[in-house]
Structure 1
Amino acid sequence: MSKFKHDLLLRLIKLVDAVLMTIPFALCWYLYYSDRTASPFDQKGNLIVVLLFLVLFIIFGRIYDAFMMSIQQISEIVYAQFLAVAVSDLIIYVQQNVIPELAFLEIGGPILNRKRIIVEDEMAKSIVEKVLKEEGLDSIISVEFYPGGCSNLKKYTILTFARTNIKSQYILFDGDQFNELVPDFDLVLERDKTISYYRDCFQRIVGMRSSTMDWGLDSNPDEGRLNEEQEKDQIEKYLLFYRSNVGFLPKVIPEDIVYDEDYLRSICGRHEFPILNGTRDSKEKLFRIATSLGISIGNIEQLLVRQFVIKKEEDYQTIARLVHMIAEQ
């Protein structure tokens, strides 16, 4: 056999070896890990991850002499290839699971531009704080309650953040504030982007009329001098921030998220559980229960939040996904 054919066959065997070592990784990735990473990929992204593993294995295989098949013992080749696989796996794992801010914490560095979630009531703050702590994200995300309700947040807070392009601030409204998703304006024809279109979008999504907002336009409506282009630009900036930095908690109000009547009955003990007929919502139910037991509603809410975190049911998972998305942005 000529030297050229020998070298070609040897290179082909090395390539087949690398592909065969990648197949188990690809199976594990597609069948298990791809849907469980912090930020799942689409099909193209999953393929890139597998190809990245292949490239890493080849690189580290060359570093550890894992392909020197003609001069090394089988045990040495197996050991070298195990090292190449282990290092490649570790790099893929770290790349998919480490949030940059948490990496700074691990090395003792400060977190710059710490993210903040703003909520519209104290109960929502308590729930989100407990989920952040349980998910290990409380060191990189803080939670604050802004008094004034959702209208105050919409009219002033979000408007300020959108104008100044602040990306580290997030708003989590109660579920009753969700109306519809913000459209992709890049898919809207330019001729359809009229001032009426933007005003209608704003009202349908935010639940407020554009005319109630202080857009700070260079105009004077009393004199008939309008600046519709500025208004369109301001509305679009507002809605783009709304799409990327505004989220919604599950259920209508936070009390609905944690309300667990079976658990409440169990902690009542020998006390008679109050009749809840005619109550409007879970908040009123908690008030009746607290009054009947003679304890503060705040204590009952804290017990419910703790039980909510322990059980980790669907609403917990929804909030956990929300805070992880915020941490990874």
Structure 2
Amino acid sequence: MDKEIDTIKNMKENGAFKKYIEYIVFPYYKNLVPGTKINLEFPITILVGKNGSGKSSTLHALYGAPYWKTCADFWFSTEVDPIEETGGEGKNRFFYGYREDKQSEIKEVMKTRMRRGSKTKEEDPDYWETSKPIKKDGMTAQTRNDPVKKEVVYLDFRAEVSAFDKIFHFAKGDISGKKDLLRKRSKYLNRLFNGEAMRFPGAPDEKVGVVKELNDEMKKKISSILGKEYVSIKVAEHSLFKNPGTSIYVKTKLSSRYSEANAGSGEVAVIQLVKKIEEAQEYSLILLDEPEVSIHPGAQEKLKEYLLEVTKRKKLQVVISSHSPILIRDMPSEAIKLYITNSQGRFEVKENVDYREAFYDLEDCVSDKKIIFCEDFAAKNIVEQVLKRMDKTQYFDVEFNPGGEKTLLTKYLPTFVTHDFFKERVFLVLDGDMQTDYVYNAEELTVKQEKDVSYMKECVKKAYGVDIQAYVDGGNGGKREDQEIAAYKEYLKYYTDSVFYLPSKSIPEKILLESQYVKQQYPSIVNEKVDITNDNAKKIFATISEADYGNEEHINDLIQKLAYKWSMEDSSNKKRVEEIVNEIYKK
């Protein structure tokens, strides 16, 4: 999947996607925060957020962006739900920027909702017009540009109901009447699927329905998504059951033929999705509203793989509204747009969101938090303050060990590395003065070295700076050397993957004392020293605590205050702690 994503990114950078909508801006549109801008850097964009947060409204605007399209097909005024345009924002409107190709400049297009009506034109209270640029909205265009000419495929999977379901589950009337109608009309549908003349009373065949058998490539893709091996798939668009609808007629390798009456709703939805996307032209705009509906998790993963593949193959631009953690997992941050309701009840869009952050917002909790162990209270506060500034506190628990680094390494570490649960979730952020700069490379070990207990034990000491015992089976025969060596290898792998150090080989007190706040607030104390070092930092802390609080008993209060002030500044040490947190976050 990473390879597909990288390929699509490179294609985008090299201009492979033509008639591409680069961004869309909402100066005033429904309940989005005025001025909301959504950048569409990656050709697949996923709109994530809770129900009613404006995702579908964004899809409707994108649907109405191209030539001869209007979002009034989905959003229009009624007496029950009138669209009121009052106040300082003016008319509902949005604009977008697109490129015809790599060599083209961005063309901006404004679309505005207004009432149309004259002697020559039919009255339309929900008419959307391509209007002149409005500079105060942030537009750079000088003249009115034509909308992008781009085919649009819109699929709302909450509304994708088969012809059978429309009658059997949603039509009015008693159950016996519905069954009677389906029985009587099914003979015409059977003729349609079999390629025979339907002879439906009162209407020519071509007006009643058409059928298409999907080719081998489409069947292969649908089979992959749904985990079934289809021999035949036929899709009929017809009005045999009174209202226009879609019916399918399929045969798998393990079953006889069946229609949508005996198929799952997810099966019908996936068949429709693949059919319509495969029939779409190159460079089309594909809009999918909750495609995960009625599709099991395994199929969702395969659907994501298909969307990446077809986007690359047909150079599509795809925008998806979704609640599915599976669809957003491992997607690049520029592909994910998180919709959040602010304190005024309007919807904000947060960009460049890691998929785990979006997943957290969907779930409102994180069940598998990562745990960071520090060796003292000061280091814990530094890490926690950085997490707050990065808005990532919900993904971590930060703890410190009162016994210091030796207790943490000699007593706790052997437990961490012998259990997969802990290895995947527990990380160490140690004081910088403990850093040894030892580099462990398992591939460089000779056969003799990796079987030598003493050598492997010495490697562990070089890495961590202390002797760490290997807890193995014993007995009259002594320790088992194979288990001892295996334990040392685990210690070294954990050292490479899960152990980090505070920057500049510094203890946390030294890092905090080097902040601009300390220099400005305590110049007489700090300036007495030529240099702040790991050796004198704790003593300086004690001096400041006595000056601020009258004694040295408020060291922890001082640490909390200085860690907070330090986190508000920009420094190389803070950036390095942020890098450490991000590295742990992504593991």
Per-residue deviation, residues 35-63 of structure 1 (Å, max 9, x unmatched) = xxxxxxxxxxxxxxxxx957x59xxxxxx
Q: Aligned with 2:399: secondary structure?
A: strand
Letter aligned with residue 377 of structure 2: E
Give me the whole-angstrom Cα distance separating, in 1, the residues matched to 2:320 and 2:439: 39
Question: C-alpha separation between the residues in 2 aligned to 1:291 and 1:275?
Answer: 17
Q: Tell me which of 451, 458, 478 is aligned to 1:194.
A: 451
Partner of 2:375: 120
Pick closer, same or farther for the CA change 1:158–1:226 going to 2, 3 Å. Answer: closer
Q: 1:218: which partner in 2?
A: 473
**Can you give the 5+ residue segments of structure 2 that lack an aligned partner in the other structure?**
1-13, 23-40, 46-62, 67-145, 153-282, 287-315, 322-330, 337-350
Asked if 1 retains the 8 angstrom alpha-carbon contact of 2:19 and 2:148, the reply is no
For residues 518 and 147 of structure 2, what CA distance do their matches in structure 1 show?
A: 63
* One-letter code aligned to 1:186: E
Q: Label 1:236 to 1:284 Cα distance change in 2 as closer, same or farther (>3 A).
A: same
The aligned amino acid for 2:379 is: A
Question: If each structure's helix is expressed as a fraction of its own residues, which one has the higher value?
Answer: 1
**Aligned 8 A contact 2:512 2:563 in 1:** yes
Q: Deviation string for 1:184-215 (max 9, x for gaps)?
A: 213433233132331221111112235xx1x3
Query: Corresponding residue for 1:306?
Result: 564
Unpaired runs of at least 5, structure 1: 1-16, 26-51, 58-63, 67-73
Which of 492, 497, 500 aligns to 1:244? It is 497
> What's 2:433 paired with?
176
Are 2:137 and 1:77 aligned?
no
Question: Could you tell me which residue of structure 2 aligns to residue 185 of structure 1?
Answer: 442
Partners of 2:375 and 2:392 lie apart in 1 by 20
**CA 1:97–1:201 in 2, change beyond 3 Å: closer, same or farther?**
farther
Match of 2:265 in 1: none
Asked if 1 retains the 8 angstrom alpha-carbon contact of 2:373 and 2:400, the reply is yes
The answer for the alignment partner of 1:260 in structure 2 is 514
Corresponding pairs, count? 270
In structure 1, what is the equivalent of residue 107 of structure 2?
none
2:506 match: secondary structure:
coil
User: Residues 275 and 192 of structure 1: is their aligned pair in 2 closer, same or farther, counting only changes over 3 Å?
Assistant: closer
Q: Which of the two has greater strand per residue?
A: 2
Aligned residue for 2:228?
Answer: none
Between 130-139 and 298-307, the greater mean CA deviation after superposition = 298-307
Write out per-residue CA displacement over residues 75-122 of structure 1, whole angstroms, 9 at most, x where no aligned residue: 451586695687469975136954444223211343222111111101
Relative to structure 1, the CA distance from residue 256 to residue 86 in structure 2 (aligned partners, 3 Å threshold; closer, same or farther) is farther
Larger Rg: 2
Q: How does 1:1-329 map to 2 (within 5 A)?
A: 19=16, 21=18, 75=147, 77=149, 83=285, 87=318, 92=332, 93-94=334-335, 97-165=352-420, 166=422, 167-195=424-452, 196-210=454-468, 213=469, 215-220=470-475, 225-250=478-503, 251-260=505-514, 263-264=517-518, 266-268=520-522, 273=525, 276-277=528-529, 280-293=535-548, 294=550, 296-329=554-587
Whether the 8 Å contact between 1:118 and 1:170 is mirrored in structure 2 is: yes
Task: For residues 8-46 of structure 1, give each alpha carbon's deviation from its aligned partner in whole angstroms, at most 9, with x where no partner exists.
Answer: xxxxxxxxx962649999xxxxxxxxxxxxxxxxxxxxx
Structure 2 Cα separation of the partners of residues 208 and 286 of structure 1 = 27
Q: % of aligned pairs identical?
A: 23
TM-score, normalised to structure 1, is 0.68
Q: Distance in 1 between matches of 2:20 and 2:147?
A: 22
Letter in 1 for 2:465: G
Report the 3-state secondary structure (helix = DSSP H, G, I; strand = E; otherwise coil) of the residue aligned with 1:216: coil
Change in 2 beyond 3 A, CA 1:227/1:267: same
Give, in whole Å, the separation in 1 of the partners of 2:320 and 2:570. Answer: 30
With over 3 angstroms needed to count, the CA separation of the structure-2 counterparts of 1:187 and 1:23, relative to structure 1, is farther
TM-score for both structures, normalised by structure 2: 0.40
C-alpha RMSD of the superposition? 4.0
Aligned partners of 1:265, 1:189: CA distance in 2, in Å?
Answer: 52
Conservation of the 8 A alpha-carbon contact between 2:380 and 2:399: yes
1:135 to partner: Cα distance: 0.4
In 2 relative to 1, CA 275–131 (structure 1 residues): closer, same or farther, beyond 3 Å? Answer: closer
8 Å CA contact retained: 1:119, 1:173: yes
1:136 and 1:112 mapped to 2: Cα distance?
Answer: 17
8 Å contact 2:517–2:566 — kept in the other structure?
Answer: no
Higher mean C-alpha deviation, range 179-188 or range 118-127: 179-188
Alpha-carbon distance between aligned partners in 2 of 1:82 and 1:268, rounded to the nearest angstrom:
63
In 1, Cα distance between equivalents of 2:148 and 2:465: 68
Specify the code of the residue in structure 2 equivalent to 1:253.
I
Shift of 1:283: 1.6
- Higher RCO structure (Cα 8 Å, ≥6 apart): 1
